């Protein structure tokens, strides 16, 4: 268990990049330690350190192959869970900057935590009750509660995948204030697995709408909140060619640009409508590109959306 815990959480060391600001967080978090190669190297390093420590301090040395297998399971489990979130990971880093996200779970899904806690606590409670009524203690073995909890978690994720597919199909099958959907995405709600946040890309707008499931739930496409896309311009095209903008557009699922004229040039702000306004997550990032009057990139930086009171819409 200690080996699985260490190997299953070590990848989140890249959260320390938050201390370096939005730029460091954007380039490091969910990239290096959350790629296939990074996870493999991390599992190998942890296994080597554990075996070295066991050889030096423990009476019985550990077998490297078994420890490596446990570390691989822990690292792979972490990678799969992060892949199932809306934030996503760069699986193929450093060979590709493409982001992968299944959009099934929130970053800290409360239902999965509840299932795992139940698998941990309920068997212990039942064991105490059986001891109180005088039953004989059973020999230690694999925890049925842990196995049952993992099965329930797998079924829960499968159920979320089915709801996600149905939500996207529902979004694509409707029109929004007369505009047809070109691309649609469904993102999990923090509180209820039956509520999804839909984002729809049309020819001239991006629509936000709630997709409910459950008894009596009805989907109303006309209740969508409309965000109008800016008209294409030479300034926007110049900003999109900036290195930081190209990276951000690989990251964003529903990018929207805002153009602002400054006294000595222009400012273009790129944001991702995948995240709702006021999202309490550092993954809601904004790219700011400043250009001079000749439309040459003068300055570019990342910032957290939470740094300002409202998004630049």
Strands (E) located in the chain = 175-176, 179-180, 183-188, 195-201, 205-212, 225-228, 255-262, 265-272, 285-292, 297-304
* pLDDT exceeds 50 at position 165: yes
Pairing of strands 297-304, 285-292: antiparallel
List, for residues 78-98, the tens digit of each pLDDT value.
999 999 999 999 999 999 989
Q: What pLDDT was estimated at residue 225?
A: 94
Name which of 80-84, 94-98, 116-120, 179-183 the model is least confident about: 116-120
Please give the DSSP secondary-structure letter assigned to residue 135. P
Q: Is the dihedral of CA 306, 207, 199, 259 positive or negative?
A: negative
Q: Report the alpha-carbon distance of residue 71 to residue 293 in Å, rounded.
A: 54
Q: What pLDDT was estimated at residue 56?
A: 81
Q: Token pair of 28, please?
A: 């490091």
CB contact at 8 A, 234 and 248? no
Q: What pLDDT was estimated at residue 132?
A: 59
Average pLDDT of the chain, as a whole number:
89
Q: Report the alpha-carbon distance of residue 313 to residue 311 in Å, rounded.
A: 6
CB contact at 8 A, 302 and 242? no
Tell me the backbone φ, ψ of residue 99, rounded to 5 degrees. Answer: -100, 140
* pLDDT exceeds 50 at position 248: yes
List, for residues 274-312, the tens digit of each pLDDT value.
999 888 889 999 999 999 999 999 999 999 998 765 455
Q: What pLDDT was estimated at residue 131?
A: 57
The residue among 85 and 60 whose pLDDT is bigger is: 85
Mean pLDDT value of segment 203-227: 93
pLDDT band at 72 (very low <50, low <70, confident <90, very high): very high
Q: Token pair of 155, please?
A: 């079924």
Terminal C-alpha separation, the chain: 48
Please name which of 273, 287, 161 lies closest in space to residue 236, comparing C-alpha atoms: 287
What is the pTM for the complete model shown?
0.85
User: 149 - beta bridge partners?
Assistant: none
């Amino acid at each position: 268990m200690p080996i699985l815990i260490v190997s299953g959480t070590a990848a989140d060391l890249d959260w320390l990049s938050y201390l370096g600001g939005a730029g460091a967080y954007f380039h490091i978090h969910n990239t290096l330690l959350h790629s296939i190669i990074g996870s493999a190297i991390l599992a190998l390093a942890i296994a080597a350190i554990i075996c070295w420590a066991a050889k030096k301090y423990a009476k019985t040395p550990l077998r490297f192959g078994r420890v490596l297998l446990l570390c691989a399971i822990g690292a792979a489990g972490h990678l799969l869970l992060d892949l199932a979130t809306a934030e996503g990971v760069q699986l193929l880093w450093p060979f590709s900057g493409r982001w992968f996200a299944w959009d099934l779970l929130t970053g800290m899904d409360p239902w999965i935590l509840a299932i795992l806690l139940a698998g941990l606590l309920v068997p212990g409670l039942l064991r105490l009750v059986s001891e109180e009524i005088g039953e004989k203690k059973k020999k230690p073995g694999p925890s049925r509660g842990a196995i049952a909890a993992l099965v329930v978690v797998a079924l829960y994720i499968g159920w979320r995948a089915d709801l996600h597919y149905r939500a996207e199909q529902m979004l694509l099958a409707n029109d929004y204030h007369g505009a047809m959907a070109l691309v649609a995405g469904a993102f999990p709600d923090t509180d209820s697995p039956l509520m999804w946040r839909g984002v729809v890309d049309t020819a001239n707008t991006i629509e936000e709408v709630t997709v409910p499931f459950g008894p009596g739930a009805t989907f109303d496409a006309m209740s969508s909140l409309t965000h109008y896309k800016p008209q294409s311009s030479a300034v926007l095209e110049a900003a999109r060619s900036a290195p930081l903008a190209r990276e951000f557009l690989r990251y964003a699922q529903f990018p929207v640009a805002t153009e602002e004229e400054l006294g000595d040039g222009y400012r273009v702000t790129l944001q991702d409508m995948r995240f709702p306004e006021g999202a309490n997550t550092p993954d809601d990032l904004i790219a700011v590109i400043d250009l001079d009057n000749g439309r040459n990139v003068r300055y570019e930086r990342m910032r957290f959306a939470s740094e300002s009171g409202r998004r630049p819409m």
